[in-house]
Amino acid sequence: MTYNGFKNYETWNVVLWINNDEGLYNLARQCSSYDEFVDCMNDLGSSIGYQTPDGVAWNDSGIDRESVNRDWVQDFVEVDA
């Protein structure tokens, strides 16, 4: 069973917030992977640094990191042309 095309609610929720919040999106574009993004968010230390506004932790064990990281380069990493 999937959640809006994602493995589960947690994966969908973090991707939704990253893609739809300008600040999170811009930060994501500066990171080479979701794992690096999570580290950057933890460094922020505020409530948004640890979880989405919906309460899903950026480092939640249920997040399908493999699929998020697989799509990361395509979605966020800028390639110099």
Q: What is the pLDDT of residues 24-78, one digit of tens each?
A: 999 999 999 999 999 999 998 877 789 999 999 999 999 999 999 988 877 777 6
The predicted model scores a pTM of 0.86
Question: Does residue 14 carry a pLDDT above 50?
Answer: yes
pLDDT at 6 (0 to 100): 93
pLDDT at 72 (0 to 100): 86
**Token duo for residue 35:** 């794992």
Mean pLDDT, residues 17-21 taken together: 94
The answer to whether 49 touches 43, Cβ cutoff 8 Å, is yes
Label residues 8-45 b or e (16+ Cβ within 10 Å = b): ebbbbbbbbbbeeeeebeebbeebebbeebbeebeeee
